[in-house]
Amino acid sequence: MRNLTCILFFVIVYSLNSFSQERKEKIRWQEDRPLSWEDFKAEPDDSTSYSANTNSGITYNWDYSTATGRPVLNHEVSSNFYPKLSWVKDVEDKEYLLAHEQLHFDISELHARKLRKALAEYEIGRNIRLDLKRIYNKIETERSLMQNQFDKQTQHSENREAEMRWRELVAKELEKLKKYSS
Residue 157 in domain? yes
Residue 151 has what pLDDT? 97
Q: How many whole angstroms from its chain centre is CA 79?
A: 4
Is residue 100 pLDDT above 90, yes or no? yes
- Measure the CA–CA gap between 56 and 109, rounded to whole angstroms: 9
Q: Does any domain span residue 3?
A: no
HSE at residue 85, side-chain half, CA atoms within 13 A, is 15
| Inside any domain, residue 7 | no
Cα gap 37→132, rounded to integer Å: 35
Average pLDDT, the chain: 89
Rounded to an integer, what distance in angstroms lies between the CA atom of residue 144 and that of residue 148? 6
The C-alpha angle with vertex 151 and arms to 149 and 153, in degrees rounded to 5, equals 65
Report which DSSP code applies to 33. Answer: B
The stretch 80-108 carries a mean pLDDT of 96
Domain count, the chain: 1
* Domain-located, residue 108: yes
Domain-located, residue 120? yes
Predicted structure pTM score? 0.86
Give the pLDDT confidence score for residue 19 in this predicted structure.
Answer: 43
Question: Quick check: is 169 in a domain?
Answer: yes
The answer as to whether 134 is a domain residue is yes
Q: What is the pLDDT of residue 23?
A: 56
Parent domain of 85: 26-180
Among 22-26, 52-56, 81-85, whose mean pLDDT is lowest?
22-26
116 in a domain, yes or no? yes
Q: What is the mean pLDDT of residues 129-145?
A: 98
**Could you count the other beta carbons within 10 Å of the beta carbon of residue 153?**
14
Spatial separation of the C-alpha atoms in residues 43 and 55, rounded to whole Å: 13
4-53 pLDDT tens trace: 333 333 344 444 443 444 558 999 999 999 999 999 999 999 999 999 99
pLDDT of residue 18: 39
